[in-house]
Structure 1
Amino acid sequence: MTERAPRVRVQRRPVHGVLLLDKPLGFSSNDALQKVKWLLRAEKAGHTGTLDPLATGVLPLCFGAATKFSALQLDAPKTYEAIALLGTTTTTGDAEGEVLERRAVDPAQLTPERLAEVQRQFTGPIRQVPPMHSALKKDGKALYEYARAGVEVERPARDVTIHALNLALTLAGQAQAAIKITVTCSKGTYIRTLGEDIGGALGCGAHLTFLRRLDTGGLGVERCVTLAQIEALDEDARLGLLQPVQTLLAGHVVVTLGEQDAGRFLSGMRRRGPWPDAGAVAVYGERPHALLGVGHVLQGELIPDRLLSPLEIQQILQGAPRAHIERGTLETTL
């Protein structure tokens, strides 16, 4: 009997920063996260909101200290490109589901004026009924678990905002009529549902055959790397792909504190200063220049909200040359 070679245990290490992944088709967000976490040998990791396995595109992965700020990306506006095939509805709203209904599509009815009318109808505040095939929970169970069991449960409509929407007639599959959707939307928007609702408004039904996230909170797909690109690099080069933790803090105003105030702020103490009120502040120490955490300013008080630990700051500073810490990117001081 041939003995198996012993499994090599991966030695984990502290890694801090953000990796902008172009998530591949067929991977769940967690699958992609675990793969990259293994490639970096990182101790702690998390992602910033799920992408369906059938979707590709921007998926910011957070490591170490960056996980403390991942929720900021959950709330950020996102931009997608999608293809909705007209004339066919499915159980899931995408190509994975079983066909529910087929209807004839009359291209003569899909005039630019008609598309513009539907585009206006779905721009701005709208209400959506979440799909059954989603991770939303009802009585402790995900909706997709009910769907797989053939049970449909009532889902209250949710308010979302479509900040920008463009619809264009195109062809998909075997020269079938389809709509190319480019949309910037708020947190909680289901693009599958949007595609279905647009198909319904056009009178023929639709389901998504393609979905790609182009941007989340100002982090665009042009800055992303693929799994194949990461795998092709050695360990040091992989670490070099990490963006600094403060990549997640774009839009925060910056306060830089002297040594004594920085130490007190880092221990959770409020600081007083000549700062105007601000709801989102990135706080740095001056010497050495390092991110301490985030807070807000109210009536001249800088109030800590989320702080890095001294150990995290030390590890980030020690790894600074490899983590591409960019000093000048956030220097818009209060």
Structure 2
Amino acid sequence: MTERAPRIRVQRRPVHGVLLLDKPLGLSSNDALQKVKWLLRAEKAGHTGTLDPLASGVLPLCFGAATKFSQLQLEAPKAYEAVALLGTTTSTGDAEGQVLAQCAVDPAMLTPERLLAVQAQFTGPIRQVPPMHSALKKDGKALYEYARAGIAVEREARDVTIHALKLALTHTEQAQPAIKIVVTCSKGTYIRTLGEDIGQALGCGAHLTFLRRTDTGGIGVERCVTLEALQAMDEDARMACVHPVETLLAQHTAVTLDDDNAGRFLSGMRRRGPWPDAPAVAVFGARPRVLLGVGHVRGGELIPDRLLSPLEIQQILESSPRAERGTLEATTL
């Protein structure tokens, strides 16, 4: 009987920031998060919305204080590239499902003019019926749980917006006709459903064989690191891949407060100043420049919405180069 090797206990530590992961195929978003959390030895982590195991691409992972702002990426517009195989529909809308129907595809019907017409049909505000194989909940249960039990649930169509759409005829490696889809869309858009609906509009049905998220909230895939590359790095190099918490707040108006006002803002007090009204503001301390939280400005008042804790700010300052540290710790903590 062989003895089991002793289990290595990972010493966790506070990590605050965002790691931009290029999620690989075949891995769930939560599995990817747990692997990166282990590699960074991070205490607290969360992701900004799931990607299907069969999808790759941009998946911002939040650590420590950044988890307070993960909802912002859930709300952000997304961009995808996908390929829909024509002539075959499946139970899941992608290659994982059982084939439901097949029909011949007439290439003569796939003219540039036809594709442009379908492209226009699905650009702008549209309505989608959520797929059964999704995490959307009905009576406290995810729809995919009903689907796995063979139960079909009534779903109401939802309003989503396709900001930009480009369709192009392509072919698979087996020379089967397919449609390449490049899309920018609002939150809540199901690309599998979009592929199915495009196939239906073309009169032959379709299902996705490829899906890659290329952007979320202005964070492009070119800024992301792969899990494979991260695993090959030493610990310092991995930590260098962790971006500041404010990476999630690029669309916010920046406001910087002096030491006295920073301390009061951190205690939840409103501050008065010469700021124009703004619905989303990222608030920083001046010495050193460190994120304090987010708020909004109304009628010359800066109103706190979500704040970092004094401990989180202290840990962020302690992990920064000493040259960047200043008096904020003494004056506001």
Letter aligned with residue 121 of structure 1: Q
Counterpart CA distance in 2 for 1:150 and 1:2 is: 43
The 5 A counterparts of 1:143-222 are 143-222=143-222
Residues 1:305 and 2:308 are matched in the alignment: no
* Cα distance, 1:49 vs structure 2: 0.5
* Cα distance, 1:300 vs structure 2: 0.7
Partner of 2:98: 98
Q: 311-320 or 49-58: which moved more? A: 311-320
1:107-128 deviation line (CA, Å, top 9, x unaligned): 0000000000000000000000
Residues 1:292 and 2:287 are matched in the alignment: no
Letter aligned with residue 297 of structure 2: V
1:160-199 deviation line (CA, Å, top 9, x unaligned): 0000000000001410000000000000000000000000
* Cα distance, 1:318 vs structure 2: 1.5
Counterpart CA distance in 2 for 1:275 and 1:321 is: 31
Letter aligned with residue 261 of structure 1: N
Counterpart CA distance in 1 for 2:223 and 2:273 is: 37
1:60-82 deviation line (CA, Å, top 9, x unaligned): 00000110111000000000000
Counterpart CA distance in 2 for 1:306 and 1:82 is: 36
Structure 1, unpaired ranges of 5+: 326-334
Q: Aligned pair count?
A: 323
* Cα distance, 1:287 vs structure 2: 1.2
* Cα distance, 1:102 vs structure 2: 0.2
The 5 A counterparts of 1:29-108 are 29-108=29-108
Counterpart CA distance in 2 for 1:236 and 1:27 is: 25
Report the 3-state secondary structure (helix = DSSP H, G, I; strand = E; otherwise coil) of the residue aligned with 2:14. Answer: coil
Report the 3-state secondary structure (helix = DSSP H, G, I; strand = E; otherwise coil) of the residue aligned with 1:70. Answer: helix
Q: 172-181 or 116-125: which moved more? A: 172-181
Counterpart CA distance in 1 for 2:91 and 2:3 is: 48
Report the 3-state secondary structure (helix = DSSP H, G, I; strand = E; otherwise coil) of the residue aligned with 2:243. Answer: coil
Letter aligned with residue 301 of structure 1: E
* Cα distance, 1:317 vs structure 2: 1.3
* Cα distance, 1:311 vs structure 2: 1.0
Counterpart CA distance in 2 for 1:321 and 1:217 is: 29
* Cα distance, 1:217 vs structure 2: 0.4
Report the 3-state secondary structure (helix = DSSP H, G, I; strand = E; otherwise coil) of the residue aligned with 1:58. Answer: strand
* Cα distance, 1:236 vs structure 2: 1.1
Counterpart CA distance in 2 for 1:202 and 1:318 is: 58
Letter aligned with residue 223 of structure 1: R
* Cα distance, 1:274 vs structure 2: 1.0
* Cα distance, 1:133 vs structure 2: 0.2
Counterpart CA distance in 2 for 1:225 and 1:274 is: 40
Partner of 2:330: none
* Cα distance, 1:2 vs structure 2: 3.8
Partner of 1:281: 281
Report the 3-state secondary structure (helix = DSSP H, G, I; strand = E; otherwise coil) of the residue aligned with 2:242. Answer: coil
* Cα distance, 1:225 vs structure 2: 0.4
CA-based RMSD of the aligned residues comes to 1.1
Partner of 1:256: 256
Partner of 2:139: 139
- Measured at CA, do residues 297 and 100 of structure 1 come closer, stay the same or move farther in structure 2, by a change above 3 Å? same
Partner of 2:315: 315
* Cα distance, 1:289 vs structure 2: 1.4
* Cα distance, 1:103 vs structure 2: 0.6
Counterpart CA distance in 2 for 1:193 and 1:43 is: 37
Counterpart CA distance in 1 for 2:32 and 2:57 is: 12
* Cα distance, 1:7 vs structure 2: 1.2
* Cα distance, 1:4 vs structure 2: 2.5
* Cα distance, 1:269 vs structure 2: 0.6
Counterpart CA distance in 2 for 1:233 and 1:33 is: 17
- Measured at CA, do residues 321 and 178 of structure 1 come closer, stay the same or move farther in structure 2, by a change above 3 Å? farther
Structure 2, unpaired ranges of 5+: 325-333
Counterpart CA distance in 2 for 1:225 and 1:321 is: 23
Letter aligned with residue 104 of structure 1: A
Partner of 1:234: 234
Counterpart CA distance in 2 for 1:106 and 1:298 is: 59
